[in-house]
Structure 1
Amino acid sequence: MMKRTALKIGYIGTNFHGFQRQPDIRTVEEELIYHLRKLDYIDDLKKSRFRIAGRTDAGVHSLGNVISFQSEKEVRVNEINNSLPDDIQILASAPVRYAFKPRYAQMRQYRYMLFQDLDIDKLNECAELFKGTHNFTNFTKRFQKTTTRTIDDIKITRAELGDYHKREFPNLHETLTPIFVDIYGESFLWNMVRKMMRVFVDVAVGKMTLDDVEKLLNPAEDEPRAYIKVMEPDYLILMDIQYDGIKFTYDDYACERFRRNLVDSLTDLQRRYAIRESMIKSLNDLHEF
């Protein structure tokens, strides 16, 4: 008997060319389909009604993107994770109705991390302008039928780095304390969050006024589209996607396994940092002579 299941996916986007399948390059969707087929969960994508919640760009990370499919085989999260590479893992699952389409979410949460020393008060003032329903024509690369979107909330916090980072990267603790910008809404346009973040930074450093922002959010119909350069994808995380009436069950072992993979990658980064720090110090010593 066919059962439909939704899976919540975590992945480190660094080595993926985005989520969506593309010929001859590595993507999150391609990896998922390959391993689900390999394990006999799905065969024909149309028959299995394989669906995705959203397509993240190259370099963007996730703790909560969602896929769904139907299968006669009972879904075992850790069997799939044992087959998947370390930089992509299933974190949670939920049984869903036959007609479930993951793209129609109740809420999405994106987090962008800013590493500059920015004025939090100015960031919050900018955030207030974005909350609510606006025309986001200037905040997407792609022409769409409707560019009206609603931002439910934006939370800005100066984060405290975790104990692991403090212990293993003591020299970086002060310089790399990030600002978290968490944005909540039902749906987002392509590049919308990253373009928003460019405006946030420009306001915080005085390159743009709040009046300028209001004009970008409510352009006249005959007004040419404004050019806003997108911020880097590397600092964007799709944190979560939620649905009305659907409760995901997180797998403790799967979450711990993905956490360990992240810690291991930090250890590698620490070594790279130590090498570069040593080279910089040696160059400084040479310069003194």
Structure 2
Amino acid sequence: MKRTALKIAYIGTHFHGFQRQPDVRTVEEELIYHLRKLEYIDDLKASRFRIAGRTDAGVHSLGNVISFQSEKEVRVNQINNSLPDDIQIIAWAPVRFGFKPRFAKRRWYRYILFEEDLDIDLLRKTAEVFKGTHDFTNFTKRKQKTTVRTIEDIRITKPIIDEEDKNKKSDFAHLNKSYSPIFVDIYGESFLWNMVRKMMRIFLDVNYGKLTLDDVERLLNPEEGEPRAYIKVVDAENLILMDIEYEGIRFRYDDYACERFRRYLIDNLFELQKTYSITESMLNCLDDLI
């Protein structure tokens, strides 16, 4: 009997989140179904099936982790051949029998902002307020034993866009919109439910002058007995669970599995580009038709 951890990549668009739910498609349900089908596991309790994190509906992943024990030697690509294309195992690692994937050394989330008129310097000042250990009571929907969490780092970057992409945007100048993305990479040991998406709302509110940095400080240090603040979550589709790291465990990435998922992403991108081109054509011809 061996225990194995698997690193899971998935596009969250067509899932109702990671966690099993009745009568809806979830990542966990798909994984359990195919692991049972291939006879890697049978009884979930006996196989000690465990997961690292329950991402919300729409959230994507390149690094969520599950673990289980099985009599069979785990063959990554055999499992991938059975799984649907929007879920694939990209790495694996042998682990001790007591391994619990939710106890991670570090989690890395990336949120991609597409809003207009974002001040990257102000976003970085906001990030400095969030770094360190704080009480995130105002940044979760659920009551938990402790809401104290530590943000190790937040990195804000703006990817370089080539001249061809810039020229494409000129076709839509009349829309007065700019879709240049900004990446917000957040690192910490653990996160509360909805915590990252609520943090991103605060980043946007500071950027647009709805909150000050002092307001953010107060949200992170609520007075005892103070009612919890209402913070609306931002869209889940812009959030990616990039990676999860563990002390003393090194995952082995499977080249074929990674290439397979890469091809799926490229095909997915091609379909989006076709939709883009059709929409662009309709926009450009609308005035002529009128």
Calculate the TM-score normalised by the size of structure 2.
Answer: 0.94
**1:95-106 to 2 correspondences below 5 Å:** 95-106=94-105
Structure 1 residue identity aligned to 2:132: G
Identity of aligned residues (%): 74
Structure-2 change in CA distance of 1:169 and 1:20 (3 Å) = farther
Supply the distance in 1 between the matched residues of 2:62 and 2:114 (Cα, whole angstroms).
Answer: 20
1:266 is matched with which residue? 269
1:139 pairs with 2:142: no
Counterpart of 1:154 in 2: which secondary structure? strand
Q: Is the 8 A contact 1:160 1:177 kept in 2?
A: no
Supply the distance in 1 between the matched residues of 2:77 and 2:165 (Cα, whole angstroms).
Answer: 30
Return the offset for 1:285: 1.7
How many matched pairs?
283
1:256 pairs with 2:259: yes
Counterpart of 2:264 in 1: which secondary structure? helix
1:241 is matched with which residue? 244
Return the offset for 1:282: 2.4
Counterpart of 1:98 in 2: which secondary structure? coil
Return the offset for 1:286: 2.8
Supply the distance in 1 between the matched residues of 2:109 and 2:131 (Cα, whole angstroms).
Answer: 14
1:109 is matched with which residue? 108
The Cα offsets for residues 9-68 of structure 1, whole Å up to 9 and x where unpaired, read as: 000000000000001100000000000001110011001000000000000000000000
**1:34-183 to 2 correspondences below 5 Å:** 34-116=33-115, 117-160=117-160, 171=168, 175-183=178-186
Supply the distance in 2 between the matched residues of 1:249 and 1:170 (Cα, whole angstroms).
Answer: 41
Counterpart of 2:8 in 1: which secondary structure? strand
Q: Is the 8 A contact 1:110 1:183 kept in 2?
A: yes
Structure-2 change in CA distance of 1:172 and 1:31 (3 Å) = farther
1:226 is matched with which residue? 229
Supply the distance in 2 between the matched residues of 1:187 and 1:74 (Cα, whole angstroms).
Answer: 31
Calculate the TM-score normalised by the size of structure 1.
Answer: 0.94
Structure 2 residue identity aligned to 1:63: L
Q: Is the 8 A contact 1:64 1:239 kept in 2?
A: yes
The Cα offsets for residues 60-85 of structure 1, whole Å up to 9 and x where unpaired, read as: 00000000000010000000001101
Q: Which ranges of structure 1 fall in alignment gaps of 5 or more residues?
A: none
The Cα offsets for residues 194-251 of structure 1, whole Å up to 9 and x where unpaired, read as: 0000000111121110011011000101111111110000000000000000000000
1:209 is matched with which residue? 212
Counterpart of 2:64 in 1: which secondary structure? strand
Structure-2 change in CA distance of 1:225 and 1:24 (3 Å) = same
Return the offset for 1:172: 5.0
Counterpart of 1:255 in 2: which secondary structure? helix
Structure 2 residue identity aligned to 1:272: T
